[in-house]
Amino acid sequence: MTYQPGVILIKTINDSYGTIVEMILELVQNGIDANARHVAVFVNKKSRNITVADDGDGVSKEKYERALQSVLQTMKTRDKFGQFGMGMLSPLAKCEWHKLTSCPKDGQTYLEWTFNTEEIRKQDHYPLKIPYRPRDDLRYETDPRGFPKGVTKVPYRTLVEVHKYTDDKFKSRVPSADGLFDEIVKNYREKMLENSIKLSVTITSEKGDIDKKEGCAEPYTGKRLPEVKLYNGDCGTSYFHLYLARKNEKGKYIGQGVSMGEADNAYRFEFRSFARSVAGLLSSTVVEALNSGVFEGNILTERTKLHSNRRSFEQGDALTGLCQTIETWYEQVGKEYYEAAIESRDEEHYKGLVEDLKRTLEDLMKNDPKYAEMFKRVKDGVRNKTLKPDKDGVLKPDIEGTVDRKLPKPQPVVEPEPDDDPGPEPQPGQEPKVVKKPPRKRASVKSDKLGLEFRHGELYDDPPKLWLYEPGVLTFNILHDRWMACEGSTRREKQLQEWIAIQVLTIEADFSDDSTMHAAAELFAEQMVDPFTYLLLNSPNYQHISRKKGKKEEPAE
């Protein structure tokens, strides 16, 4: 079957720019390519119209028509983004029609081209015919000829108007003004910085509300990592210009993400898109690290070529070589930084958990006399067990019934020499030697009101315990399988640690003077861990699932 040129053109454009956001990016890029100092984007979701204007160099009739007939062929120099000649046509198949109005910087007359998707679809031969007309009623705002009656002063040299864009929910999805602004900057940051380009984004909602963002691209603000050049025989030299992203006051990374690009082309696209296009060539560890938000900056390649969809590179040996180079960079440089960042993020997460537990228990003590009395007994018990000796080495009790006892003379502590020899292999029937590691200390939070300290740690008991209580200190074991089952949900982690705390503190308050009952109560609490965590993970009541609608109702964390 032979397709008409108009049909082929529309399919090609739709495959390359399938969504409204991709279309907007391409129209903005055209303005940047034309040396604009200001690009403005207007999206009206109510009328489904879009306007993109810029004050760049504009385009003449001859240049525009040459570009129109060279779709999929390069017309621009390598320092321009639009290598494939399709940007002017990007709205096709996503709207009823779109218009381009432009005047070259060295000209005087504006021309207006009208692109009607259905009319173009019917065309059966090259060259394609796109109707146009002069717009003598328009003049650029600094035109020295002045503005006689009937002539409108305009602040743009190029204007694209998109009429009735598609109502397809996926294709027409447009983020907030902030989101669209950030998306544009991610793709064109280098050239925007170089030319000090101002960007304005205005979005009118279906209800008529105005959402606006205006500004310039910002340079990366994280901690610069060592710049690395790695050579691969297939992809040539790859350049890693990366930073450790900054954190906000809540400890969340607020970097601008990692972008990919050609070394001799200022266009960039998200690493996230790149990773999807090379599934199986990059390890999941590397993809996770570079998508984590910990890093920001650019990875540039010498020989790997940008695909016409502008969201990936062309397949081949050069692409495989680039992936191998990225893996090498991660092993030699990135891994150390990423693991340190994740460790720091974990510390902040666990500290936030125990801060929340502290507030919960202090509120419980304040509002419920029963628990206030319980916490008092625990606090008194801690004081009994942690009294400091006087100058004679005698513990002075402040609670009736405590017996004075003399402390033994302190002995020097001798640290054992490290033993790298694991010793002989265990013989058949012989139990292997179990080496216990000390609990790893993490950030802790102390409550003076409760007289308690809370922390998370890595406990290596055999069999493993979910918690460890020492006088005044409660440690939650993050290596326990029940704790790990709750990871990924801050709400579940909070619920589990609250349950543990109440169990442990009740036992300490009621049975600290009766070792037999204390052991029995502790054993019972340990046996209740499995059924309780089962409820946390599976019960609709704990998961906030509406029985009527079957939907999760996650509370704000």
Shared-domain flag, residues 283 and 200: no
Most confident of 207-221, 253-267, 389-403, 513-527: 207-221
Shared-domain flag, residues 247 and 198: no
Q: What is the pLDDT of residue 72?
A: 38
Residue 46, domain member (yes or no): yes
Residue 551 confidence (pLDDT) above 70: no
What is the CATH number for 303? 3.30.230
Residue 350, domain member (yes or no): no
Residue of 436 and 276 predicted with greater confidence: 276
Q: What is the pLDDT of residue 97?
A: 93
Residue 412, domain member (yes or no): no
Shared-domain flag, residues 194 and 93: yes
φ/ψ (deg, to 5) at 268: -130, 150
Shared-domain flag, residues 42 and 161: yes
Residue 175, domain member (yes or no): yes
Q: What is the pLDDT of residue 311?
A: 83
Range of the domain at 335: 223-344
Sign of CA dihedral 328, 334, 339, 342: negative
Shared-domain flag, residues 171 and 246: no
Shared-domain flag, residues 530 and 489: yes
Q: What is the pLDDT of residue 178?
A: 94
Shared-domain flag, residues 158 and 20: yes
Residue 397, domain member (yes or no): no
Tokens representing 164?
Answer: 């009735």
Shared-domain flag, residues 496 and 542: yes
Dump pLDDT digits (tens) for 7-62.
877 777 777 777 899 899 989 988 998 999 999 999 999 999 999 999 999 988 88
Residue 149 confidence (pLDDT) above 60: yes
Last residue of a domain, one of 196, 216, 236: 216
Shared-domain flag, residues 171 and 252: no
| Buried-exposed string 175-207: b where 16+ CB fall within 10 A, e elsewhere | eebeebbbbbbbbbbbbbeebebbbbbbbbeee
Mean pLDDT estimate for the chain: 82
Shared-domain flag, residues 58 and 200: yes
Last residue of a domain, one of 161, 191, 216: 216
Q: What is the pLDDT of residue 148?
A: 82
Q: What is the pLDDT of residue 391?
A: 54
Last residue of a domain, one of 216, 238, 267: 216
Q: What is the pLDDT of residue 387?
A: 47
Tokens representing 461?
Answer: 């008991």
H or E, element range at 97: strand 95-102
Q: What is the pLDDT of residue 256?
A: 87
Residue of 363 and 344 predicted with greater confidence: 363
Q: Which residues pair with 154 in a beta bridge?
A: 140
Average pLDDT rounded to a whole number, residues 467-486: 88
Average pLDDT rounded to a whole number, residues 227-255: 90
Nearest to residue 50, comparing CAs of 155, 154, 166, 132?
166
Q: Are strands 49-54 and 152-154 parallel, antiparallel or unpaired?
A: unpaired
Q: What is the pLDDT of residue 544?
A: 55
CA separation for the pair 54, 52 (Å, rounded): 7
What is the CATH number for 61? 3.30.565.10
Tokens representing 483?
Answer: 């704790």
Whole-prediction pTM:
0.61
What confidence category does residue 210 fall into, taking pLDDT thresholds of 50, 70 and 90? very high
Shared-domain flag, residues 239 and 335: yes
Q: Are strands 110-116 and 258-262 parallel, antiparallel or unpaired?
A: unpaired
Residue 392 confidence (pLDDT) above 70: no
Shared-domain flag, residues 181 and 280: no
Q: What is the pLDDT of residue 71?
A: 58
Residue 259 confidence (pLDDT) above 90: yes
Average pLDDT rounded to a whole number, residues 286-297: 93
Residue 407, domain member (yes or no): no
In contact, 396 and 390? CB cutoff 8 Å: yes
Average pLDDT rounded to a whole number, residues 254-272: 90
Q: What is the pLDDT of residue 35?
A: 92
Residue 241, domain member (yes or no): yes
Q: What is the pLDDT of residue 137?
A: 93
Residue 418, domain member (yes or no): no
Residue of 234 and 119 predicted with greater confidence: 234
Give the range among 58-72, 322-336, 368-382, 388-402 with minimum mean pLDDT.
388-402
Residue of 438 and 172 predicted with greater confidence: 172
Specify the number of domains making up the chain: 3
Q: What is the pLDDT of residue 127?
A: 73
What confidence category does residue 389 fall into, taking pLDDT thresholds of 50, 70 and 90? low
Residue 260 confidence (pLDDT) above 90: yes
Q: What is the pLDDT of residue 197?
A: 96
Q: What is the pLDDT of residue 315?
A: 94
In contact, 520 and 530? CB cutoff 8 Å: no
